[in-house]
Structure 1
Amino acid sequence: MIRSQQPGRGAVAVLSATAVTAFTVLVALLLSLYAPATAHGAAGLTLTGPVVRPGESPLDAIRDVLARQSEALLRGDRDGYLRAIPVERQELREQAGQRFDSLTALHVRRWTLTATTMPERYGDGWRQAVGVAYCFGADDCTTVDLRVDTAWSVARGRLQLVAYEQTTRPWDTTRLTAKVGARVTVAGPADGEQVSPATLDLVLHAAEAAAPIDDRFATSFEGPPQRYFVYVAGDAQWLRWYDGTTRSYSAAYAMPLQPGATDVVLNVRDVRSDAGATLLLTHEFAHVVTLGGTVPPAQAFWLTEGIAEYIADGDGAATRQNLPAVRGYVTDGRWDGSVTPARPAKDASLDDATARYGIALLAVRYLAQRYGEPKLLAFFTEVVRRRQPLDAASQSVFGTDWQSVSKDAAASVRAAATA
């Protein structure tokens, strides 16, 4: 979910279906770089890398380079990390240097590059798929996995890296600076004026306030994450990180990477106050703990977002923001009486999106008040995590049919909207 804040108005946003699965899509930068002598003749490249004899598979040499590069990163050796890339490959070295700086800023603790398949011939060189396992923060952090394509050539008998697929993850596209708290790491562009150190401090303070709230709810799922990660995006990064979001009212989103791992991305334009940022991040961290790095079913939008709003609504701030839009939505006759509204369209107005989130919140709040919070969370698990039909989940958890439950919930929403 993404929440968009405007002074005096409700705030919402949503992670699009495209963006939800964007972590499986990598931006390929290999193209013509596969050819080992496109920019420089092989004889003119700096001699680096292990020896590969004529007719010999480069797999062992590639593994050696990857292992040495990983070791160099973890010990903070920037020169060692870049050693396998010829100095003539300036763009590739700059990209690798930026990656090194960002990973170091995030306190990378585990980084393993693995080549498990045989390299494929491509022109005069080889293409090699590489598995990456990484994590930040603590020595015992749980790794996140992804795959990148690489390309290699042999110049005068020496193996050299000539291309490396750049992903859309923040640390891979932007040189980052980071602030580290007890439960949260907050990072933003290191060389941009739009995301200032003061802004990162504000976001970190807000995130640290949000984390304990969500940690409490996490005990009903897999437990609290080892650490929450928040990336604060300027305009350029907002469009580029994880392929961006196409929803104009978006202000933040939780990006599932794999079961147990989720990144949160926050638009710096929606960082206006400590209280507002805390509300926003409490909502996004709620997705981290309730979804656990999984992608929810599209038809469960109301419950996925409603429970995140509910968790963020401890002091009633989310209700106060959403209720004016809900009242207008109901009194104008735009509400069809359903407590399971569909996700707002990509071009929906902020008012329309706020109303839908508000209805979802009011419906979820009714369930919690009527049946108790433990049963609400059990119902969420059945519908969102186990993908059970609403009626089956209602019968199992609430002991009655969903039609009766939703009818009473709708009456509660209407009462709140017309009070």
Structure 2
Amino acid sequence: MTRTQWMRWTRRPDPRHGALAVLSAAAVTALAVLVTLLVPPTPTAYGAGIALTGPIVRPDENPLFAIQDVLARQSAALLRGDRDGYLQAIPADDAPLREQAGRRFDSLTALRVRRWTMATADLPSQVNDAWRVPVDVGYCFADDDCTPVQLRVSTKWSVVHGRLRLAGYEQTRRPWDATALTVKEGSRVTVAGPADDPRVTPAVLDRVLRAAEAATGTDDRFAASFDGPPRRYFVYVAGEEQWKGWYAGGSANAAAYTIPLQPGASDVVVDHGTLTDSWLPTLITHEFAHVVTLGGVAPPAAAWWLTEGIATYIANGSGGELRNELPSVRSYVAAGRWDGSVTLTGPPADATFEETAACYGIALLAVTYLAQHYGEAKMLAFFTEVVRKRRPVDTAAQSVFGVPWKSISADATAAVRAAAN
């Protein structure tokens, strides 16, 4: 089963003046599939040798209950931290499957998995000699009292000599499923990276964790105007292989992205090759801004200017973001390439860095105008109406500002031109 998700991309910094690179929205379809499968870990009423074979399935019997039993037993082993029991459920002669399961167990436990359930989502259907059934996985890390992230996966089973066993599965591209992870945990942030990549060292993860912990103060403050601060932010630092392999893969021109998983949950992925001490705090603040403002839900495409403008506004801090992007805005406006509309839908895919930086700069200036002229609280309320509630800008402007959007847009355009002169 496939699902469409949205990524918020952060492009790499401009080497000429170290600007924070900008973000662009990209839709990505992620195939999610079962991460752990298998058979009961210890002998039971099913009979001797249960570690090597699954529950008994009689001829002409649908294996639904046997599959449910297998899934429940393996979930329990994971949650009690029983690695041997977890691996014991895997057929002994399937070395690749045992290796994948062991890596998965280690990553999930390092992330402090606290809830993990697997439930069949339909009756198994037989195709030739195999049984197929979708499975709903619910998981969350670090907190027992949490709303599990939902993941639907596909599974395939067979009955060999009257016993159920795994026939095949496709591995997901979520970081904890695809990679053995090293995990660092702070008071508000969990940072993880590939355990076998020598460039993503524990020292690198510690550096990212320090910057991320510092960023939470700013982003938590803005989160109070939305759903409140997340219980924990999750940042995955990708090596070269993981940057291409996690989720739908990172763009060659990007430095980071935030992917909403479901309402209330998002993951941030950062390319290790783009990390610099001076830029890292701004980068993380920008990504966390998407986490708190979008709340795990993809924004409407027409609101690109507002979605990106508010993230850059939050990361702007002392004004460094604006100083970095203003030269591009000036060149763009002076060349007559801007049509005067602040409601930009994003730069084209083939845009140059200067063009893209100009679009982000215009979005930042427009959001800054709203905050300065009407107050930050009303600007945030306007964002909620347009992006979170998906209401037309005209309706939102009248509701929040008491002024027609046409008038506000004209004033915002004038503010952008004034800044560009």
Query: One fold, TM greater than 0.5?
Result: yes
Equivalent residue number for residue 413 of structure 1: 416
Q: Please give the per-residue CA displacement for 1:90-143, whole angstroms capped at 9, x wherever unaligned.
A: 222222222111111111111111114211112223112111000001121221
1:238-277 → structure 2 map (5 Å cutoff): 238-246=243-251, 248-273=252-277, 275-277=278-280
1:235 is aligned to: 240
1:333 counterpart SS class: coil
Which has a greater percent of helix? 1
The count of residues paired between Structure 1 and Structure 2 equals 398
Residue in structure 2 matching 1:153, options 133, 152, 158:
158
Pick one of 2, 16, 24 that aligns with 2:9.
2
Q: Which residue of 1 aligns with 2:350?
A: 347
C-alpha change, 1:12 and 1:64, in structure 2 (3 Å) is: same
Per mean C-alpha deviation after superposition, the further-off stretch among 330-339 and 128-137 is 330-339
Specify the code of the residue in structure 2 equivalent to 1:382. E
For structure 2, list consecutive stretches of 5 or more residues without a partner in the other structure. 1-7, 36-49
8 Å contact from structure 1 (residues 46, 88) kept in 2: no
CA contact (8 A) 1:129 1:147 kept: yes
Q: Which SS does the other structure have where 1:141 is aligned? A: coil
Q: 1:87 aligns with which of 82, 87, 92?
A: 92
Mean Cα deviation higher: 98-107 or 298-307: 98-107
Q: Which amino acid aligns with 1:18?
A: A
Partner of 2:53: 48
> Which one-letter code corresponds to 1:322 in the other structure?
E
Is this contact kept in 2: 1:127–1:151, CA < 8 A?
yes
Q: SS in structure 1 opposite 2:52?
A: coil
Secondary structure at the aligned position of 1:242 is classed as coil
Q: Is the 8 A contact 2:184 2:206 kept in 1?
A: yes
Letter in 2 for 1:9: G
Q: Any conservation in 2 of the 1:63–1:115 contact (CA below 8 Å)?
A: yes
Q: CA deviation at 1:220?
A: 0.9
1:208-227 counterparts in 2 under 5 A?
208-227=213-232
Contact (CA 8 Å) 2:129, 2:158: kept in 1 or not? yes
- CA gap of 1:46–1:162, structure 2 versus 1, over 3 A, is farther
Tell me the SS of whatever aligns to 2:101. helix
Q: Provide the C-alpha distance between the structure 2 equivalents of 1:414 and 1:266, rounded to a whole number of angstroms.
A: 34
Pair 1:398–1:46, CA change in 2 (3 A): closer
1:13-412 mapped onto 2 (5 Å cutoff): 13-19=22-28, 22-23=29-30, 25-26=31-32, 47-246=52-251, 248-273=252-277, 275-412=278-415
Kept after mapping to 1: 8 A contact 2:130/2:167: no
Contact 2:32 2:154 in 1 (8 A): no
How many angstroms apart in 2 are the aligned matches of 1:236 and 1:74? 29
Q: Is the 8 A contact 1:178 1:187 kept in 2?
A: yes
Measure, in 1, the Cα distance between the counterparts of 2:178 and 2:24.
20
Asked if the contact 1:51/1:158 (under 8 Å) is kept, the reply is: yes
Q: Which amino acid counterpart does residue 231 of structure 1 have in structure 2? A: Y
Q: What TM-score, normalized by structure 2, do the two folds share?
A: 0.90
Counterparts of 2:125 and 2:363, CA distance in 1 = 51
Q: Which amino acid aligns with 1:374?
A: A
The CA deviation at 1:27 is 6.7
Unpaired stretches in structure 1, ≥5 consecutive residues:
30-44
Deviation at 1:381, TM superposition (A): 0.8
Aligned partners of 1:308, 1:351: CA distance in 2, in Å? Answer: 19
2: distance between equivalents of 1:129 and 1:84? 20
Query: Aligned partners of 2:86 and 2:128: how far apart in 1?
Result: 26
1:10 aligns to what SS in structure 2? coil
Considering only aligned residues, what root-mean-square deviation do their CA atoms show, in Å?
A: 1.9
Could you say what secondary structure the match of 1:322 adopts? helix
Provide the rounded CA distance (Å) in 1 between the counterparts of 2:32 and 2:23. Answer: 22
Three-state SS of the structure 1 residue aligned to 2:27 is: helix
Q: Compare the two structures and name the one with the higher strand fraction.
A: 2
- Indicate if the aligned counterparts of 1:363 and 1:409 stay in contact, CA closer than 8 A: yes
Bigger drift between 237-246 and 391-400 goes to 237-246
1:344 CA displacement: 1.8
Query: Does the 8 Å CA contact 2:155/2:169 hold for their aligned counterparts?
Result: yes
The one-character-per-residue Cα deviations of 1:237-287 (angstroms, maximum 9, x if unpaired) are: 1122111244x43211110111111111111121111x4111111111111
